[in-house]
Amino acid sequence: MSATARRARLIVLAIGLIALIAPVSACGAKQEPLTKANFAQKVGAATKAKKSAHIESTIKTGVSEMSIEGDVGYQNDNTTAQIRLKQGQSSAGEMRLVDGHIYMSLPPIVPEGKFFEVTADNKALGSIIKMMDGVGPQQAVDQLEKGLVKVKYVGEKKIGDTKTAHYEITADPKKMTDNLGSLPKELVDQMKVMTYDVFLNPDFTMRRTFVKAAGSEITMNYSEWGKKISVQAPVKYELVPAPDFGSMR
């Protein structure tokens, strides 16, 4: 496998793991602690009300580490996103999701400031399209209701200057998504019932999630809930043909 293909595969794995935990990465209730009976609906309603969030995530996979930072917005179940990727200390590129289209910038594979559109027939990255189908609020609620196993309130935990409420959310990812065929094989093979650590702010918005999956550790931090965001598709002169990633086997 070429270095370019390995890099593309790591990006697919990282985004696939983010897509898996998206259904539990939103807001909590404002009254009694959440339970299995009301968690999914409360999460969905709160997410729709906020409409956007800033995310910062670290994905550790073996000796590799990737960080993701950006903004995600939800409007009538239409998801928009602008996410910057770093591998170690180096920039690994940027992803934009606009009106159902996904654009990637992966310098030096493509020139700095240039993007290519990810299409379904792209052997290296095409699976991202199906992954991102499940990150809208209503899709997330539907998925979580299918796969939710247990909701447990653990107690309080201070993160920075914020006193958060800690939950353990147990879910079966194989029941949570219809897009398993689009995920990397090493991720699907290891998908079992997983427990997520979920931390809520005093106003019950999400502060942090943590999960171990497929040999990876994912920490995701949330801030700036409800901030107005604007994600623009690349203009015509910024678009270039998709690179040849070679064999992904």
Residue 85 scores a pLDDT above 60: yes
Q: How confident is the model at residue 107 (pLDDT cuts 50, 70, 90)?
A: confident
Report the candidate in 129, 81, 105 with the shortest Cα–Cα distance to residue 232.
81
Q: Is residue 142 part of a domain?
A: yes
Which is more confidently placed, 123 or 180? 123
Q: Is residue 245 part of a domain?
A: no
Looking at the structure of the chain, the number of domains it has is 1
Q: What percent of the chain has pLDDT over 90?
A: 8
Which is more confidently placed, 225 or 143? 225
Residue 44 scores a pLDDT above 80: no
Q: Is residue 34 part of a domain?
A: yes
Q: How confident is the model at residue 103 (pLDDT cuts 50, 70, 90)?
A: very high
Q: Is residue 246 part of a domain?
A: no
Model pLDDT, residue 77: 62
Which is more confidently placed, 182 or 172? 172
Q: How confident is the model at residue 172 (pLDDT cuts 50, 70, 90)?
A: confident
Q: How far apart are the first and last CA of the chain?
A: 7
Average of per-residue pLDDT values in the chain: 74
CA quadruple 178, 183, 189, 193: dihedral positive or negative?
negative
Model pLDDT, residue 125: 72
Domain containing residue 26? 3-238
Q: Is residue 180 part of a domain?
A: yes
Top mean-pLDDT range of 67-71, 146-150, 183-187? 67-71
d(CA 30, CA 130): 33
Model pLDDT, residue 106: 85
Cβ(204)–Cβ(29) below 8 Å? yes
Q: Is residue 244 part of a domain?
A: no
Q: Is residue 14 part of a domain?
A: yes
Q: Is 18 left (phi over 0), alpha (psi -120 to 50) or beta?
A: alpha
Q: What CATH code is carried by the domain that includes residue 167?
A: 2.50.20.20
Report the candidate in 174, 169, 177 with the shortest Cα–Cα distance to residue 39.
169
Q: Is residue 23 part of a domain?
A: yes
77: its two tokens:
């179940």
Residue 119 scores a pLDDT above 80: yes
114: its two tokens:
């240039």
